Amino acid sequence: MSLQRAGESKEPDYSRFPGDVGILAMDIYFPSQYVDQGDMEDHDGASKGKYTIGLGQHGLAYCTDVEDIYSISLTALSNLMEKYDIDYKDIGRLEVASETIIDHSKSIKTVLMQLFADSGNSDVEGIDSMNACYAGTNALFNSIAWVESSAWDGRLALVVAADIAEYAKGPARPTGGCGAVAMLIGPGAPLVIERGCRSSHMEHVYDFYKPNLESPYPVVDGKYSNVCYLRSVDLCLKRYRARYQRVNKEDFSVTDTDYVVFHSPYNKLVQKSYARLLYNDFMEHPERPEYSDLPQEEYRAVTPEESYAHRPMEKAFCAIGKATFAQKVGPTCLLPQELGNMYTASMYASLLSLVHSKGGDLAGKHVLLFSYGSGLAASLFSIRGGSSPEAVSALERIQKACDLDGRLAARTKLSPEHYNQTVDLRAELHKAGAFAPEASTESLFPGTFYLKNKDAKGRRFYDRSPRAKI
């Protein structure tokens, strides 16, 4: 059998696909309590700025024992459906992404199907995706593919990316967080996924993994994971450039994109990753004036593998990119810096931060997105903001509906002691049999689903706090 190779492929024909397929609407759920990273520094006896500057983080969202991965997913999805007045009958696909596993057989998607019960719609394709922080992107790609396939029946798709990031006591604990992003996928979207402009890198590594099924905590090799992340940036960018050139008949440079959205374990890695894009641009275009003061012969002689540990070079590109980072990446950083790492939801929380910041001004703008999950899986793809009056209105609606400033301000700051006690308790409950949560539900945001109890058969039962009066 003779296969047509990528370099010999015909020009892509997208005319048969629905127009402007992408993200129609999105929303996020995060818990009502958080811990301040400055307070964490003081509590841990860390040097001032270790978490707030060294990690680049401001706050860390966390759940008490009345919330779990099912409840935060239920809340995120129901809030999206209610805010945008979406009929459950209009949904033909739902895929959930998470690495927060509390059942080794039953999917989170099946738990969410209880929201569809009153509509009578059980004809909903899709199931869960799992690979560390990458699964949200896999769920998005699958949903886009469904809309563009012969299986599509004209209905819309939903993606829920949700995680609770918790770590054992030690240096990784301040990099936790919690969040759940829900997205509506279909044609005529204000955030259009660009066709043909997408690249991936997959590799077998042990940089972050969870081999202990009785614990929510991962095994982490932090330094190695950062190298894996940055190497994936390099490889995905190289392949994206080739795809972009083929589709658009022109070269691509990071200077050409309006915004860059990264998966954000912590903000310092986002800063380094943007600097890595500039390093790659420098290797392709050393003649550009912004690179004129660099020791070019020295830097160009450094091998890619050597470059990951080359601190002077890393600092140099961070300095060169400081101003453009503020313009292109800064508007994406709000939620990840305030909530912490949300694993599968992290990059999409960054995208929502961008929509919150720019709203209708994203019309016609090019947005580059880098998704990474340890183990590893990574992709680089792009979105373009729609330019029609309808698209601008939809962007402004997302901006208004998410109300990030108001919701972040409404949270309650709790102590590092409470945070540590809560995380330790949740680790014990992870392997517990029947239990009823101890924490109060009084402080939950309106409309939040919460766990009532887990019975002796491992079944979990939920209720919902009263919705806010409109």
Q: How far is CA 8 from CA 4, 246, 460, in A?
A: 6, 11, 53
Q: Name the one residue in this structure whose structure tokens are 């998470």.
A: 98
Residue ranges of alpha helices (H) inside 285-345 are 296-301, 304-307, 311-320, 322-328, 334-339
For the four alpha carbons of 102, 107, 110 and 112, in that order, the dihedral sign comes to positive
Structure tokens at 240: 């994206």
Q: How far is CA 31 from CA 35, 48, 163, 403, in A?
A: 11, 26, 12, 15
Structure tokens at 13: 């024909």
Q: How far is CA 441 from CA 30, 114, 331, 435, 459, in A?
A: 15, 21, 33, 16, 20
90 within 8 A of 464, measured Cβ to Cβ: no
Angle at 194 between CA 192 and CA 196, to 5 degrees: 155
Residues 6+ positions from 257 with CB-CB distance below 8 Å: 328, 366, 367, 368, 382
32 within 8 A of 410, measured Cβ to Cβ: yes
Q: How far is CA 356 from CA 256, 380, 400, 405, 470, in A?
A: 22, 22, 8, 9, 22
Burial class (CB in 10 A: 0-12, 13-18, 19+), 425: middle
**Strand intervals (E) in 389-457:** 412-414, 449-454
Q: What is the crossing angle of helices 311-320 and 267-284, to 10°?
A: 90
Catalytic residues: 99, 133, 263
